[in-house]
Amino acid sequence: MSHKILILPGDGIGVEIMAEAEKVLDVLRGDFSLDIETIRGYLVGGAAIDASGNPLPEETLQQAKAADAVLLGAVGGPKWEGLPYAIRPERGLLGLRSELGLFANLRPAVLYPQLLSASTLRPEVVTGLDILIVRELTGGLYFGQPRGVRVLENGERQGFNTLVYSESEIERIGRVAFETARKRTKKVCSVDKANVLECTELWREVMNRVHQEYPDVALSHMYVDNAAMQLVRYPLQFDVMVTENMFGDILSDAAAMLTGSIGMLPSASLNAEGKGMYEPIHGSAPDIAGKDLANPIATILSVAMMLRYTLNAPELATRVEKAVGSVLDAGLRTRDIYTDKDRLVGTAAMGDAIVAALRHMNR
């Protein structure tokens, strides 16, 4: 049966990088007989606001619900920054995450050995880096109620957000972390702020409880401030890290830089049925949009994650990853990962080279 994939480029560089990911999908369909149907032409984020005033139009949401997977570029940009929160581009993305129940966000930070010199950290600190951040994606500070800005009796305004997690929300993300760790080196580090925040003290307690079902996996706990420090001090100590929505947002950007560029990192957001949305972890980068400068690799590697987690085609996923590796071997670099020993290429040329490498593998 053909799998339906909804293509949502979004804003900024989302459009250019998605074009490259689609080239990869075309080759997978044409040369590797992958049975997929891509659905295009629907809007999300700023593009949707411009067209209809709504960052997540109903027809886009319906298509996303009907699809087997969503491939998303990026949303947002300065043009929409002054708008009320309810109609900002980011609401489109957050709406998709929550409406589709995509509570488990997997963000691998893997260092390609070819990019060792692109990292700002010393080679011995990052060589062999292979971390998986499991970020809770539909709860916590991002979604907690009540939220808003209220006026106090003295007339001063006060902003407030709420950090909330129910036991079942912590349990299910904990299970994802332990299950994934079983397929790796069986080590989970749960990140919280249990010394200060009640909510994350409960998080720690529930993680310990769920851990009893996974005695073969080692569980450690770390405060988020220390985790941020350890990520740049000695990142090789980590395998799977599981954490609250906002902590995960912050730590995954830090982990991304260990690999040389945020332009390299894909992500998968899964619901309880394994349905997924796949997107690069970087944003819409309006400053370089439309200039053929963006790195399409994070989006192409997101296609690989989709092959693995939704389309059940792990061999093809490996091929896509190998194609990326071979292009890096050949010295091709977009600007974000360029050092003076390399060959500088643009977005489209990078996509074309990966497609050519993929085709070559089928001979």
State the residue for tokens 């080590």.
187
Query: Looking at beta carbons only, is 45 or 235 nearer to ligand IPM?
Result: 45
- Give me the residue label for tokens 């996974």: 214
**249, 321, 336, 342: which one binds ligand IPM (CB under 6 A):** 249
Calculate the CA 273 to chain-centre distance. Answer: 18
Distance CA 183, CA 108 (A): 14
Minimum CB separation of residue 139 from ligand IPM in Å reads 12
Told to check if 304 binds ligand IPM by CB under 6 A, we report no
Bridge partners, 132 (sequence order): 108, 240
- Member of 115, 240, 281, 345 binding ligand IPM (CB under 6 A): 281
Shorter beta-carbon distance to Mg ion: residue 104 or 317: 104
Select from Mg ion, ligand IPM, none the partner in contact with residue 46, using the beta carbon and a kind-dependent cut-off of 5 to 8 Å.
none
Rounded least distance, CB 281 to ligand IPM, Å: 6
Q: Which amino acid is at 24?
A: V
Annotated active-site residue 352? The verdict is: no
Residue closer to ligand IPM, measured from CB, 93 or 328: 93
93 contacts which partner out of ligand IPM, Mg ion, none, CB within 5 to 8 A by kind?
Answer: ligand IPM
How far apart CA 137 and CA 248 sit, in angstroms, is 9
Q: Give me the amino acid identity at 58.
A: E
Q: By the criterion CB under 5 A, which residues form the site for Mg ion?
A: 249
Question: Which of 225, 234, 291, 329 is an active site residue?
Answer: 225
From the list Mg ion, ligand IPM, none, partner contacted by residue 283 (C-beta under 5 to 8 A by kind): ligand IPM
292 carries an active-site annotation: no
- Cα 64 to Cα 55, 100, 275, 298, 307: the distances in Å are 14, 8, 10, 21, 17
Residues numbered 41-80 forming contacts with ligand IPM, rule: CB under 6 A: 76
Beta strands in the chain (DSSP E): 3-10, 36-39, 69-74, 104-110, 130-136, 148-151, 157-160, 187-192, 218-223, 240-243, 266-270, 276-280, 332-333, 343-344
Nearer to ligand IPM, 1 or 86 (CB): 86
31 binds ligand IPM (CB under 6 A): no
* Angle, in degrees to the nearest 10, between helices 198-211 and 167-182: 50
End-to-end CA distance of the chain: 26
Q: Which member of 253, 322, 338, 352 is catalytic?
A: 253
Of these, 26, 31, 90, 130, which contacts ligand IPM (CB under 6 A)? Answer: 90
Positions that interact with ligand IPM (CB under 6 A): 76, 90, 93, 249, 281, 283
Catalytically active residues are 142, 193, 225, 249, 253
